[in-house]
Amino acid sequence: MKECNFYAGPSILDNGIVSKAIKQISNRENLSVLEISHRSDKIVSLFEDTKSMVRDLMNLDKTKEVLFLHGGASLQFAMIPLNIKGNGDAGFIDTGIWSKKAIIEAKKVRNVSIVGSSRDDLYNYIPKIEDYDLSALDYLHLTSNNTIYGTQFFEFPKCETPLVVDMSSDVLSRKLNFNDFDLIFAGFQKNLGTTGGSLVVLDKSILKEGNEDELLSMLDYKVHIKAKSMFNTPSVFSVLMCNLTLKWIMEQGGIDVIEERNQVKAEMLYNEIERNGLFYSYVNKRDRSLMNVCFDTDNEKIEADFLAFCNEQNIIGIKGHRSRGGFRASLYNSMPLESVEYLIDRMKLFEKRYARKGI
């Protein structure tokens, strides 16, 4: 039995994407993209093609810039507060570790206001921020999907204030009006391929005006825009994987089809968690993520036994994040329906065995 990969990231890649990458690299007749200059036509067109697919899939306005940068999503935590204009506060919705890490970086360079937080209930819900006056903020930063706690924004604040969204764990998993956001960023390693890069989509109008020499070059979006994501040697392999992943999304029928599948997979699993007498979901129903299904059991022995059982059954990466415990099944775009059905089947079997023997 093939291993079913439920890791939260780096995470599952569709077999077709991996085969195409291997084919491209293993053809020794022609030089592969891994061993030629990034100034060559082949790499320049790989980047242009990848950018144009991002534009198409997100239906982006011409005013949006698309960048592929190194440093993962965490580098964006540092670059954003350095680059966005204004002398007021940067606002944050605190929905857990990834927003906290962004807050820590922002505080090093500007004032920060916490607009809402779900810390009081171990981040198991998305806080409401209606009462907060956002107009005084330079920008508002939120994490659309909280990989560790399994919460997701299904409604976004409507405001004139520039919106910055960390979409690392749900980018291109559902239809959104991507033009509503002033800056979107996402590490590649979940829905955009593999590690080593991140996507940034931004509106230049939110950036600080002034000379390029005011910021360290590598931390300056304007420098990367001018250099078309090739200010220095880019992470070509990660862009190749992103390219193949975007092509795969298009071949599947685009985001509409992907979203429908994601809804079906998540709903099936949440239904089983509700039904199964051994498990429960601790996430507020309205805010349950379609990408990271987090659940738990109230007995430490059952937790250890279920993890061991999953291991035996080739269900990999189901252990919850170390800060939260319990279980987490990540159902990114590439996750096949059959793997979710298989997990559900094993949850049922585990429940039966437990009822018989008390494990």
Catalytically active residues are 98, 166, 190
Cβ closer to ligand PMP: 197 or 326?
197
Query: Which residues bind to ligand PMP, rule: CB under 6 A?
Result: 9, 72-74, 98, 143, 147, 166, 168-169, 187
Give the DSSP per-residue string, 247-310: HHHHHHT-HHHHHHHHHHHHHHHHHHHHH-TT-B--S-GGGB-SSEEEEB-S-HHHHHHHHHHH
Closest CB 113 distance from ligand PMP, rounded Å = 20
Q: For the chain, state the CA radius of gyration.
A: 21
Strand, helix or coil for residue 331: coil
Longest dimension (CA), the chain: 71
Closest CB 152 distance from ligand PMP, rounded Å = 10
Look at strands 183-187 and 163-166 and give their pairing. parallel
Q: Which residue is nearest to ligand PMP (CB)?
A: 72
Cβ closer to ligand PMP: 98 or 309?
98
Cβ closer to ligand PMP: 73 or 137?
73
Closest CB 150 distance from ligand PMP, rounded Å = 11
List the end-to-end C-alpha distance of the chain, in Å, as a whole number. Answer: 24
Closest CB 18 distance from ligand PMP, rounded Å = 20
Closest CB 182 distance from ligand PMP, rounded Å = 18
**C-alpha to C-alpha distance for 33 and 240, rounded to whole angstroms:** 8
**C-alpha to C-alpha distance for 356 and 190, rounded to whole angstroms:** 38
Cβ closer to ligand PMP: 272 or 287?
287
Closest CB 8 distance from ligand PMP, rounded Å = 6
CA atoms in the 13 A half-sphere facing the CB of 88: 12
Cβ closer to ligand PMP: 98 or 221?
98
**C-alpha to C-alpha distance for 336 and 27, rounded to whole angstroms:** 28
Alpha helix (H) residue ranges in the chain: 15-26, 41-58, 72-83, 97-107, 221-226, 236-252, 255-275, 300-312, 337-357
Residue 205 CA from chain centroid, whole number: 25
Kindly state the tokens that stand for 36: 């030629």
**CB distance 206 to 84 below 8 Å:** yes
Q: Which of 183, 167, 150 is nearest to 289 (CA)?
A: 150
Closest CB 168 distance from ligand PMP, rounded Å = 4
Cβ closer to ligand PMP: 191 or 313?
191
**C-alpha to C-alpha distance for 351 and 345, rounded to whole angstroms:** 10
Cβ closer to ligand PMP: 9 or 162?
9
Q: Which residues contact 296 (CB under 8 A, 6 or more apart)?
A: 279, 280, 281, 282, 303, 320, 325, 326, 327
